[in-house]
Amino acid sequence: MLPTDSNKALSFKRGIQDGDLVIVYERHDVMKPVKVTKDGVLQNRFGFYKHSDWIGKPLGTKVFSNKGKFVYLLAPTPELWTLVLSHRTQILYIADISFVVMYLEVVPGCVVLESGTGSGSLSTSLARAVAPTGHVYSFDYHEQRAACAREDFEMTGISSLVTVEVRDIQGQGFPEKLSGLADSVFLDLPQPWLAVPSAAKMLKEDGVLCSFSPCIEQVQRTCEVLRSDFIEIRTFEVLLRTYEVKEMKVETVAVIGESQDEEDNGGPRPSKRKHLSNNGDYAVSHDNSSNATSVVMARPCSEARGHTGYLTFARLQCLS
Amino acid sequence: MEHSEDQTSMPEKNINSKRQDPNPRFASEGCSVLLDVNDGDRLVFARLSPGAIFKIGNTKYSLKPMIGAPFGSLFQVETGEEGSFLSRVLPIKKESSSSNVIDDVRDNRELIDDNESQNLTAEEIEAMRRDGAKGDEIIEALIANSKTFDKKFQLSQEKYLLKKQKKYAPKVLLRRPFARSICEAYFKKYPARIGFIRVDALSLLLTMANVTAYSDVLVVDMVGGLVTGAVAERLGGTGYVCNTYKGNSPYSVDMVRMFNFTDKVIERIVHSSIHELSSPKTALPEENNQQESSKSDMIEDISVTAEAIVDDGVTESKIIKAPQPGAKASKEAVEMWKENGFSSLIMAAQDQDPWTLAKDVLPLLSYSAPFAIYHQYLQPLATCMHNLQQGKMAINLQITEPWLREYQVLPSRTHPHMQMSSFGGYVLSGIRISTTT
């Protein structure tokens, strides 16, 4: 997934190879990760696609099914991965992920601790940020979840950057061996305040901690504990609003009272377009195909994620 | 002879070796720092030198005490025989007190705003200061001489203390400049210079363009170098961030100087015009001498504007030049990009129509390369998205607008901030696809 392996980096010249992970894109909401194999076949509602037809083609191209329907084959990115990974837990999405990585000041070479691993959505983005020389240590108390995450990281090719361990961070804290080595710590735990003292021990001075909690009561208790060792404690909520874009034919109709003459000779003038008529009666009565203009318009989508969680950031005090 | 030469070159070597640390933890001479006064009330960039001066209120302070201090250390104002100076303070561990404020029976009903409640006069306070009283001592005196302090509701007392602390015992936090803090500082003070990109929007751009080590990121940065710097920060001295432009001269990327980049990172910041990048594979004219000339242009540019961001309180008496970012891309690099395409694109072109630019720039990307286009207005992005869709140039197209709300979290007093930024910009993202087949 990451270009650290120059053989996998995007290029006009590079064709899809046996063993590549690709994202099969049907629509923005229908995508699927597929490992390319010589004899592999992908089946969907449009028919079947032979992997052997894909090999040698560049990524980002259309491939056709036996029925002549097409899908796109895309290079995996952490963003696409977040959309296609199997949800073993509630996962973090792009807005929170982006903000966390930036606010934790994660740059190449950093050591980042994370608990829990969950479905590995954030871990993948953290790995991208610490590459090529840094490392992510991810902990989850759930044995099976940890195993699945390891498999995923193997598949996406980031396993050299992420170590997954089974450990109850709330109960046991982070392992001693990482003491004072972490540039940043991320907590997504039901009782994050229990892990804060251990997180403080792991962090380098001036290192940043982030705690993600869906409930304000969790935030409240976490902040109380943070105040003893941390400064710059700040809590945020970050959401995304997406927009629909449509081209629509709108009638440009003269305001009643204005002469029809002027409209015909002058054509639609910018000032007139303000008088767009939503009212069918007028539009119809003045119907005249030259008066219909195509306009590209945008409006917010009607539904959106209203809440994910609160993000609390804090910086370890510098005492030396 | 040899010996003395060695000695003179030593300190410089030290500075250099510190600067090469990929993640420096100490503020060394010549490095760029962010000074955070009173928990974010004021954010000021400065370059550390023994002669650098910083002004709080009407008093000037030397930044010398900060040289060699770890990032994250806290400084307080003190007055000594030679006047006021900044002195490092180690914070005292506070026990978290969670007294239940709701049960406080006091309230502010007896407070009258008549300016009569403080017995100390301004002259008396000034005299205390001259005599070297610490800020905390002044505040104690203020409380002792306040007729109303004891009667105040507990929360009002806390507010009063905070207000007085900010005035009489200002705290300065020494911070490392990161894309995050640089963006926040500009957004707070000069948002127009960065095209109103809020930090969450900037983070989205980096994420949506899949910026990571070893990638070749094409940027159109008309926001002073904020995007270029943020990308370079994520590349960590690998890959390239190539700033492209229309016409003859590259856009200024002065802001890159605010980051403490190592030479290794700086080398990865280059520019090349759209024309050069899109012309068919042939020799590029005047390749060699242009490198020199564009470089000297940059130096002038920078010394003019780098000063401008620095808060008016700061004067750099001895400017230590940071390495110059933004050399012209080498012929080899340009050839490489023509062959392979860029791995992603970020556009933050304030005064340009996104579609006009995108249709020239998108073909420079590899197939399947993600891109993110920032704009502070929605309509041009909508048009751009529509045209990309119609031209079947990209898929997974989406316009998003981030929304960011900060909370005050205090015992029994948790609520969103009363004032918030209501707009941080729009981002059009998508994935470039091959139009042939």
CA distance A249 to chain B (A): 14
Preferred mutation among B88, B100, B396 to probe A, highest tally of A CBs within 10 A: B396
Read off the pLDDT of each residue in B63-78 and give the average, rounded to a whole number: 89
- Report the C-alpha dihedral over residues B372, B373, B379, B383, rounded to 10 degrees: -80
Q: Of A232, A233, A318, which is closest to B70 when you measure between CB atoms?
A: A318
Are the beta carbons of B404 and A237 separated by less than 8 Å? yes
Domain spans, chain B: 2-91, 103-169, 179-432
For residue B295, the model assigns a pLDDT of: 38
Backbone CA torsion sign across B301, B304, B310, B314: positive
Q: Of B90, B180, B236, which is closest to A102 when you measure between CB atoms?
A: B180
What's the fold here for domain A6-76?
Vcp-like ATPase; Chain A, domain 2 (3.10.330)
Q: Chain A partners of B396 at a C-beta cutoff of 8 Å?
A: 25, 28
Are the beta carbons of A107 and B433 separated by less than 8 Å? no
For residue B281, the model assigns a pLDDT of: 63
> Is the pLDDT reported for residue B218 higher than 60?
yes
- ipTM, 2 decimals? 0.89
Q: Of A216, A229, A241, which is closest to B400 when you measure between CB atoms?
A: A241
For residue B316, the model assigns a pLDDT of: 39
For residue A258, the model assigns a pLDDT of: 53
- Looking at domain B179-432, its CATH class is alpha beta
Preferred mutation among B34, B95, B172, B207 to probe A, highest tally of A CBs within 10 A: B207
For residue B405, the model assigns a pLDDT of: 97
For residue B323, the model assigns a pLDDT of: 54
For residue A120, the model assigns a pLDDT of: 94
Please state which of the ranges A146-150, A308-312, B128-132, B360-364 shows the lowest mean pLDDT: B128-132
Q: Under 8 Å CB-to-CB from B327, ≥6 apart: which residues?
A: B267, B269, B270, B271, B291, B294, B295
**Residue B92 pLDDT grade (very low, low, confident, very high; cuts 50, 70, 90):** low
Q: Chain A partners of B232 at a C-beta cutoff of 8 Å?
A: none
CA distance B253 to chain A (A): 20
Phi, psi of A259 (to 5 degrees): -75, 140
CA distance B174 to B155: 29
pLDDT in tens, A227-248: 999 999 999 999 999 999 999 9
Preferred mutation among B25, B407, B420 to probe A, highest tally of A CBs within 10 A: B407
Helix (H) or strand (E) holding A82: helix A78-84
Size of interface A-B (CB pairs under 8 A): 246
Tokens coding B402: 């981030």
> Is the pLDDT reported for residue B195 higher than 70?
yes
Q: By CB neighbour count within 10 A (0-12 exposed, 13-18 middle, 19+ buried), where does B103 fall?
A: exposed
CA distance B303 to B406: 36
Three-state SS at B203: helix
| Among B312, B429, B337, CA closest to B44 | B312
For residue A132, the model assigns a pLDDT of: 93
CATH number for the domain whose boundaries are A80-239+307-316: 3.40.50.150
Q: By CB neighbour count within 10 A (0-12 exposed, 13-18 middle, 19+ buried), where does A146 fall?
A: buried
Q: Chain B partners of A74 at a C-beta cutoff of 8 Å?
A: 368, 431
Helix (H) or strand (E) holding A35: strand A30-35
CA distance B367 to B384: 19
Three-state SS at B3: helix
For residue A286, the model assigns a pLDDT of: 44
Domain spans, chain A: 6-76, 80-239+307-316, 243-300
Q: Which residue has the higher pLDDT, B82 or A13?
A: A13
Q: By CB neighbour count within 10 A (0-12 exposed, 13-18 middle, 19+ buried), where does A6 fall?
A: exposed
> Is the pLDDT reported for residue B314 higher than 50?
no
Shortest CA distance from B336: residue in chain A: A11
Q: What's the mean pLDDT when you consider all of chain B?
A: 81
Read off the pLDDT of each residue in B7-14 and give the average, rounded to a whole number: 36
CA distance A170 to chain B (A): 20
Tokens coding A111: 């050591």
CB of B96 within 8 A of CB of A314?
no
Q: Chain B partners of A204 at a C-beta cutoff of 8 Å?
A: 25
Q: Chain B partners of A111 at a C-beta cutoff of 8 Å?
A: none
For residue B56, the model assigns a pLDDT of: 84
CA distance B45 to B31: 10
CB of A54 within 8 A of CB of A73?
yes
pLDDT in tens, A264-310: 444 444 444 444 444 434 334 444 556 788 899 999 999 999 999 99
Q: Which residue ranges of A are tagged as binding site for S-adenosyl-L-methionine?
A: 119-122, 140, 168, 188
CA distance A229 to B221: 39
Q: Which residue has the higher pLDDT, B99 or B410?
A: B410
Are the beta carbons of B72 and A205 separated by less than 8 Å? yes
Are the beta carbons of B204 and A98 separated by less than 8 Å? yes
pLDDT in tens, B375-406: 999 999 999 999 999 999 999 999 999 999 99
Are the beta carbons of B382 and A99 separated by less than 8 Å? no
Please state which of the ranges B6-10, B101-105, B364-368 shows the lowest mean pLDDT: B6-10
Q: Of A25, A132, A183, which is closest to B238 when you measure between CB atoms?
A: A132
Q: Of A60, A224, A320, which is closest to B434 when you measure between CB atoms?
A: A60
Phi, psi of B62 (to 5 degrees): -80, 145
User: In tens digits, what is the pLDDT along chain A, a chain of 320 residues?
Assistant: 888 777 778 888 889 999 999 999 999 889 999 999 999 999 998 899 999 999 999 999 999 999 999 999 999 999 999 999 988 888 899 999 999 999 999 999 999 999 999 999 999 999 999 999 999 999 999 999 999 999 999 999 999 999 999 999 999 999 999 999 999 999 999 999 999 999 999 999 999 999 999 999 999 999 999 999 999 999 999 999 999 999 998 887 666 655 554 444 444 444 444 444 444 343 344 445 567 888 999 999 999 999 999 999 999 998 87
